[in-house]
Amino acid sequence: MTGVAKMIDEISSIGRDLTRGGFSRAGYSTADRELRDWFTAHANQRGLDVERDRNGVLWASWNPAGAAGPAIVTGSHLDSVPGGGGYDGPLGVASALAAIDILREDGRRLQRPIAIAVFPEEEGSRFGVACLGSRLLSGAISPERALALTDDEGDSFADVARRDGLDPASMGPDAAGLARIAAFVELHVEQGRGLIDLGEPVAIASSILGHGRWRVTVDGQGNHAGTTLMADRRDPLVAAARMVVEIRDLARRTDGARATVGRLEPVPGGTNVIASQVRFWIDIRHPDDVVTASLVSQARDIIARAAQGEGCAADVREESLSPTVDFDLGLRDALRRSLPNAPELGTGAGHDAGVLASSAPTAMLFVRNPTGISHSPEELVEDADAEIGAVALATVLGELASAQSIEGTTHAQPMMAK
């Protein structure tokens, strides 16, 4: 087993989900804490200083002799979706540690420090907003809004963060933290079949689809399944079922669109009970932000019509919205020079690198996933590809940390806080 595969194997017992399969490693859970401890131990073994910033991001810095100024930063996240795979996030963290090992062995003289960042609650599985740590750091979410988010138990992010040793009052945009980033390069398992089809192990990312999440609440009349005549019902689950199918149909007729309902909760949820309320979440993605806005508006119309048709009431709330990101052209050129054989691929998945793209030059590398499946226990990376990915990352980091200046070109404005 190679270095990266061994590290992934070390954490394979943490956060296993015996009911759903795969891993359920929610942000700020016990599993998340154990994973952070695992990372800190690895970083310390390598003599890296680890600090946790006020937004809960872990930073491990390697300052080789002679290196100075803002760092070339790599890293990813350790949390997962419910019942997720073992590579989405951890592959980037383990590869970052392995890349530092490779660069050290190489003995190359570096001008800049290299840092590993581990971002909390990337999946948004617990508090509903993806990339919560990088959004706080970059100002893409206001601390007031973030701290008021609640999990399924009704615990606020403020309380959970406080219990985890963070000071909620200190959270929010961190200009000094961002100024330490000369460039950010996140390595990630590919979440589709692009590299399988191309027969290549590693790609350079070109873009991330714009995407967002909307929470829908449908209210009807809870009642008895046996005594309520079919004509007398106001069943929010029937309304929600129509909404789910019609939103799927809307995405099917819109070129390039993706719309998903992956989470639906009937209340109270009894076999012989007509639900009184249904909550569900829609994930909508499209490369063109104008089309995304139009899809959302059409989905709102579908929801209003379907609710009315069943005598129900519906409410739609935006939980997060991220514009389409084209990764920094100058940095992509630099990566292409380091990895001339790597193809460029876009992705439909969101990442902290996408959030940070508005604050620093960012780029990503994808490593082949032989199943082409992600957010599922079937997600996979072959050991040999994981090693090729780590070497590619080390090559890129080594080149960037040796460069006199980082040729970032598309340095967008900071996102508007919501």
| Cβ at position 87, least distance to Mn ion in Å | 9
At residue 24, the 3 state secondary structure works out as: coil
Least Cβ distance, residue 390 to ligand GLV (angstroms): 21
User: Do the Cβ atoms of 136 and 55 come closer than 8 Å?
Assistant: yes
Q: Which is nearer to ligand GLV, 168 or 192 (CB)?
A: 192
Beta-bridge mates of residue 321: 212
To Mn ion, the closest distance from the beta carbon of 90 in angstroms equals 9
Q: Minimal CA–CA distance to 55: which of 139, 172, 159?
A: 172
> Beta strand pairing status for 181-189 and 71-77?
parallel
Nearer to ligand GLV, 129 or 392 (CB): 129
Residue 118 three-state SS: strand
The least distance separating ligand GLV from the CB of residue 132, rounded to whole angstroms, comes to 12
Q: Which run of H or E residues covers position 399?
A: helix 383-402
Give the nearer residue to ligand GLV in terms of CB position, either 220 or 350: 350
Minimum distance from residue 84 beta carbon to Mn ion (Å)? 7
CA dihedral 188, 339, 99, 399 (to 10 degrees): -130
Q: Which is nearer to ligand GLV, 277 or 320 (CB)?
A: 320
**Per-position x/- string for 43-82, each x denoting binding to Mn ion as judged by CB under 5 A, each - no binding:** ----------------------------------------
Minimum separation from the CB atom of position 21 to ligand GLV (A): 18
Helix (H) or strand (E) holding 90: helix 90-106
Please state, as a whole number, how many other Cβ atoms lie within 10 Å of the Cβ of residue 106.
11
The verdict on 98 binding ligand GLV (CB under 6 A) reads: no
Q: Check binding of 349 to ligand GLV (CB under 6 A).
A: yes
Closest approach of Mn ion to the CB of residue 350, in Å:
7
Judged by CB under 6 A, does residue 78 bind ligand GLV?
A: no
> Residue 48: CB partners within 8 Å, gap ≥ 6?
60, 61, 62, 100, 116
- Select from ligand GLV, Mn ion, none the partner in contact with residue 201, using the beta carbon and a kind-dependent cut-off of 5 to 8 Å: none
Give strand pairing partners of 114. 62, 72
Options 350, 354, 361, 398; binder of ligand GLV; rule CB under 6 A: 350
- Cα–Cα distance, 347 to 360 (Å, whole number): 20
- Residue carrying structure tokens 């999990």: 151
User: What is the smallest separation between the CB atom of 374 and ligand GLV, expressed in angstroms?
Assistant: 8
Q: Between residues 118 and 181, which has the closer beta carbon with respect to Mn ion?
A: 118
Three-state DSSP at 366 gives strand
CA distances from 342 to 94, 198, 204, 220, 390 (A): 21, 10, 6, 53, 14
Locus of tokens 């701290």 = 147
Q: From residue 357 to residue 396, what is the string marking binding to Mn ion with x (rule CB under 5 A)?
A: ----------------------------------------
Nearer to ligand GLV, 100 or 130 (CB): 130
83-122 positions binding Mn ion, by CB under 5 A: 88-89
Binding at 130: pick from ligand GLV, Mn ion, none (beta carbon under 5-8 Å per type): ligand GLV
Q: Cα(382)–Cα(227) distance, rounded to whole angstroms?
A: 56
Please pick, from the candidates 58, 130, 160, 357, the single residue that binds ligand GLV as defined by CB under 6 A. 130
CA nearest to 116, candidates 210, 208, 7 = 7
Residues interacting with Mn ion, by CB under 5 A?
88-89
Residues interacting with ligand GLV, by CB under 6 A?
123, 130, 349-350
